[in-house]
Structure 1
């Protein structure tokens, strides 16, 4: 009897409860090809943009530009200039920003508009014409100018020629020596207009001769 009761009591005791709940099974990871492709595209795009930014910064140079209008002949001050970055181009020859100190104090050789890049021909040690010199312009037809294109710095002679219908003068015709300081083609007449640097004492007589149209230009030397 007692052994039967003991077995009965043992059968009524509930099984021991675990202290920790059972761990859930790990979730199954689902692959999403669209997200993977988007991540790859983002990485490639970032690399491309980074390369472009690096190329853009390494292909630029710091140069000098005019902050405001600078008139021809004016002394260039530091406040007249500004440093800017531009893309490198073999066709351009701007003055580097490192040349600022050497540019300041020079005179503008031409009118420099605000925002324009400075080039070596934009400034000079002195203005043209200097003291005791004058610039005289002469408009030439093809028969009055040399066959070779005239250039700034050419040494020429302005030769007085006979008037139409008159006889050629005997002996050597009178002439004036000059230096070419500018060459352009007139928009109105299509003639070649040459600016000549001559001594001030000869300017008036040369201008009077040029006004008659009875002149010709002779190219003598291109030695600089």
Structure 2
């Protein structure tokens, strides 16, 4: 009679305490990550959005605005939904585009053209446009230059350079094909007609003033 064969011995898998501890730590970290994500998703802020194009200086109406709820970075300044009534009736300090958040700095209670001022549109060719962006409120100097064959504007010779102080109200985008940018500049009512004459004669150049307005 053949001897009985003992069944194969199955040894218990050895569990290492270090591996178990690492597994528990990863599970805990994953759970913490999910918790942070849930907190971030839940921590939303109701803010005001722009739903229609609003030009610079235009009065903002309730129909121009909407509301949404987003997870807002603390560094982003946006008008809260509960403050929407405070911006309705004010003017756009910059051009507002649909789909963007409304920031407090983008609205103003003041008219961009003050009493006693006139608005002079100036067309600038690509070579005359400064690399620095033209923004509303920026101080500029309108300079009269001599142009060969230009119509006499009644100004003195180049020996006495003529300048007019102004402030940018709006700058358009570059026109297709020509690249010309139209800049609306507010000047005093007494200087407005003179600046317009310089523009008509092609004898005007726009110079950006220093940051302190000098």
1:216 to partner: Cα distance: 1.3
Structure 2 gap ranges (5+) = 1-30, 151-155
1:161 to partner: Cα distance: 1.0
Q: CA RMSD in A?
A: 3.8
Structure 1 gap ranges (5+) = 1-46
**Other-structure match for 2:200:** 211
Q: Go from structure 1 to structure 2 and tell me whether the alpha carbon gap of 1:159 and 1:86 turns closer, same or farther (over 3 Å shift).
A: same
Larger radius of gyration: 1
Cα distance in 2 between the residues matched to 1:67 and 1:191: 28
**Other-structure match for 1:54:** 39
1:92 to partner: Cα distance: 5.3
Cα distance in 1 between the residues matched to 2:165 and 2:147: 21
Q: Does 1:129 align with 2:117?
A: no
Q: Does 1:138 align with 2:122?
A: yes
Aligned length: 178
Superposed, 1:68-79 pairs within 5 Å as 73-74=58-59, 76=61
Cα distance in 2 between the residues matched to 1:178 and 1:124: 19
Q: Does 1:154 align with 2:138?
A: yes
Cα distance in 1 between the residues matched to 2:51 and 2:182: 32
Q: Does 1:199 align with 2:188?
A: yes
User: Could you tell me whether the CA contact under 8 Å between 1:108 and 1:127 is conserved in 2?
Assistant: no
TM-score by length of 1: 0.59
Cα distance in 1 between the residues matched to 2:143 and 2:199: 10
Cα distance in 1 between the residues matched to 2:79 and 2:120: 31
1:125 to partner: Cα distance: 0.8
Cα distance in 2 between the residues matched to 1:98 and 1:109: 21
